[in-house]
Amino acid sequence: MGLNLRIEVTGDKETVARLAKIGESLDRMPEAMQETGQYLRDFFAGEVFASQGGAIGMPWPRLSLGTEAEKAKRHAGRLGKFAH
């Protein structure tokens, strides 16, 4: 799976060199995207989750009373850990 594309550019040497450099950097794009995705997943699953959104300046809203009641039923004795 994937796209193979070949473009031949002729003419000005500086333009050809710049386009070749761009092409080389695109070869590393899948690896860079994988690294970026891993970083974002770790950040949001770690620091942001642990701070309940505070790490990005968007604290989670308080649970609704209905949600708190449902959690109290399902997780008796543990609600204090989850509520704001």
pLDDT tens column, 25-74 = 888 888 889 999 999 999 999 999 999 999 999 999 999 999 988 988 88
Model confidence, pTM: 0.48
Q: What do you get for the CA distance between the two ends of the chain, in Å? A: 47
**Spatial distance between the Cα atoms of 70 and 64, rounded to a whole number of angstroms:** 10
CA angle 17, 22, 25 (to 5 degrees): 125
Neighbours of 16 (CB within 10 A): 13
Mean pLDDT of the region 1-19: 79
Domain residue ranges of the chain, discontinuous segments joined by +: 13-82
